[in-house]
Amino acid sequence: MNRSTTDTPLAVALQYDGDRAPRVTAKGRDGIADQIVALAKQHGIPLQENEALASMLARVELGEEIPEALYLAVAQVIAFAYHLSGKSPRL
């Protein structure tokens, strides 16, 4: 999940099952962004702010896998989330 810190908040949620590339599962600005962030917090989902990455991910259609060009950046976000939750990825 990424949230922009500009005047118009932007949030993008990703789902990663470990088998395929992560998918964009939610995205939105303003009130929708606030709802995405609130739901993530409610469910203990780690958040990471990265305005540039969120902007690029917001261009991906809902339900679609992220483009290969964003794999490294998103892998860093996933690694961050695993670290915060004390989990390790499946091998």
In the chain the domains, ranked by start, together with CATH numbers, are: 2-85 (3.40.1690.10)
Q: What is the pLDDT of residue 87?
A: 73
SS3 letters for the chain? CEECCCCCCEEEEEECCCCCCCEEEEEEEHHHHHHHHHHHHHCCCCCECCHHHHHHHCCCCCCCECCHHHHHHHHHHHHHHHHHHCCCCCC
Residue 1: what pLDDT?
Answer: 54
Instruction: Give the per-residue pLDDT at 6.
Output: 52
pLDDT for 4 equals 44
Q: What is the pLDDT along the chain (91 residues), one digit of tens a residue?
A: 554 445 689 999 999 988 999 999 999 999 999 999 999 999 998 899 999 999 999 999 999 999 999 999 999 998 888 888 777 666 5
pLDDT at 80: 86
